[in-house]
Amino acid sequence: MQQLTRNKRGLKSDKLLLETIKDYPGLSQYELSKKLGWQSGRVDGAIRRLVNGNVITVKNLERNGRQTNLVYPKDSKAPNVIEVPANLLPAENHSWLHWAFAYALDSTTIGIAGCEMPEWNEISCFTEKIPITKTQEKIILQIPEKFCRFYNIERRHKVTSINGNSILITITGNIVEEKKYPA
């Protein structure tokens, strides 16, 4: 009976953790435990079960000379695809309709806007016009190949944020390996 209760509690923890990871991909175990108000052992157990169930992945990242493990949902989305909730970008102002403009602002930042940004154009290394795919819930953009090569998107950690009517992608740290947990 005690084992059954423990299994139900574990499944409930796994489900809640998975929802949190999907909402906030790329958090560390510590950040997840703080966000959920859980002990680190509970988070660790749920992470292990979800990794072994092939539902999430843990990537070891080196950033500023330190290594940290970041947790991501397993999905088929390519690393060069950016999805932003449509309600976060004001699409009614005639930007974010068909095209976006990508700017390589510096060695760690990509700026994407729904209209041309002359001030970004002046400081960027290179720019590119990219098509927008929209659903009711999301605006989907594919980072151009030139940007992927320059920023080494496949092997780097990226954080996407909304700043007013633009998207900023910050590229940090190198992904060293994908962690495996014994079953």
pLDDT tens, 136-173? Answer: 888 899 999 999 999 999 888 888 898 888 999 999 88
Q: Which two tokens stand for residue 37?
A: 């108000």
Q: Taking the domains of the chain in order of start, what are their residue ranges?
A: 2-75, 81-174
* Average pLDDT value for the chain: 86
Q: What is the dihedral of CA 174, 176, 178, 179, to 10 degrees?
A: -120
The pLDDT of residue 91: 55
pLDDT tens, 10-29? Answer: 788 899 999 999 888 888 99
CA dist 155 → 46, 91, 150 (Å): 26, 32, 12
pLDDT tens, 33-45? Answer: 999 999 999 999 9
pLDDT tens, 79-97? Answer: 899 988 888 876 555 678 8
Q: Give every CB contact of residue 155 below 8 A, 6+ residues apart in sequence.
A: 174, 175
Give CA–CA dist 127/112, Å, rounded.
10
Length of the chain: 183
Q: Give every CB contact of residue 24 below 8 A, 6+ residues apart in sequence.
A: 31, 32, 35
Any idea which architecture 2-75 has in CATH?
Orthogonal Bundle (1.10)
The pLDDT of residue 169: 95
